């Protein structure tokens, strides 16, 4: 068995949609980024690449490559899962923590887990999404950014 961990942080800005795990979450701000800014998909993809010792998503999908401008990160995650499977790796489970002051994310967990389950081929009972605030502390606590930590098990 192999374990991989992923981390990502994106700035919250006005004029962008908030997309996490491929799900559009209604909010007055969204995540800045070259792609759609989906930090949850990025952290999970990085965790999978880490477990397989295949580098990181910056190498796979370079942010200075116009091909990935506005990219749908759920599709990037699917590419990573497919590449891992082609190398004989099988996903065991995903656990993640979204660190975010606002909006309240728990009402969206079910749809995010369903989306990630469909993208990865894992049962929803193997896809965990949680959220925490930083109690108002730091840039994330001030609502300036969203961070995500993810861990995956690969068999
Ligand atoms: Mg990112």
pLDDT tens sequence across 57-81: 999 999 888 988 889 999 999 999 9
Distance 76 CA to ligand 1 centre (A): 11
Residue 63 confidence (pLDDT): 85
Mean of the per-residue pLDDT values of the chain: 97
**CA–centroid distance, residue 150 to ligand 1 (Å):** 12
Which of the four pLDDT bands, split at 50, 70 and 90, describes residue 106? very high
Query: Which pLDDT tens digit goes with each residue over 12-52?
Result: 999 999 999 999 999 999 999 999 999 999 999 999 999 99
Report how far ligand 1's centroid is from the alpha carbon of 52 (Å): 19
pLDDT given at position 50 = 98
Q: Ligand 1: distance of its center to the CA of 117 in Å?
A: 20
Distance CA 23, CA 4 (A): 23
Residues, Cβ < 5 Å to ion ligand 1: 8, 42
Q: How far is the CA of 107 from the centre of ligand 1 (A)?
A: 23
Ligand 1 center to 10 CA (angstroms): 6
* C-alpha 12 – ligand 1 centre gap (Å): 12
What number is the average pLDDT over the span 82-111?
97
Provide the pLDDT for residue 101.
Answer: 97
Please tell me the distance between residue 32's alpha carbon and the centre of ligand 1 in angstroms. 9
pLDDT of residue 91: 98
CB-count exposure of residue 5 (10 Å: 0-12, 13-18, 19+): middle
Quote the ligand 1 centre to 63 CA distance (angstroms).
9
> Where does the pLDDT of residue 150 fall: very low under 50, low under 70, confident under 90, or very high at 90 and above?
very high
Please give the order of strands across the beta sheet that includes 91-99. Answer: 29-31, 2-14, 145-154, 91-99, 127-132
């Amino acid at each position: 068995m192999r374990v991989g961990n992923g981390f990502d942080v994106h700035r919250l800005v006005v004029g962008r949609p908030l997309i996490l795990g491929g799900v559009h979450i209604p909010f007055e701000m969204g995540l800045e980024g070259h792609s759609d800014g989906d930090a949850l998909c990025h952290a999970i993809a990085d965790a999978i690449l880490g477990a397989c010792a295949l580098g990181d998503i910056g190498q796979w999908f370079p942010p200075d490559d116009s091909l990935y401008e506005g990219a749908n990160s759920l599709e990037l995650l699917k590419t990573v899962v497919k590449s891992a499977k082609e190398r004989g790796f099988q996903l065991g489970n995903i656990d993640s923590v979204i660190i975010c002051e606002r909006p309240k994310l728990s009402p969206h967990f079910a749809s995010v887990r369903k989306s990630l389950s469909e993208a990865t081929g894992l049962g929803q009972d193997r896809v965990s999404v949680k959220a925490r605030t930083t109690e108002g502390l730091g840039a994330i606590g001030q609502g300036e950014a969203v961070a995500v930590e993810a861990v995956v098990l690969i068999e």
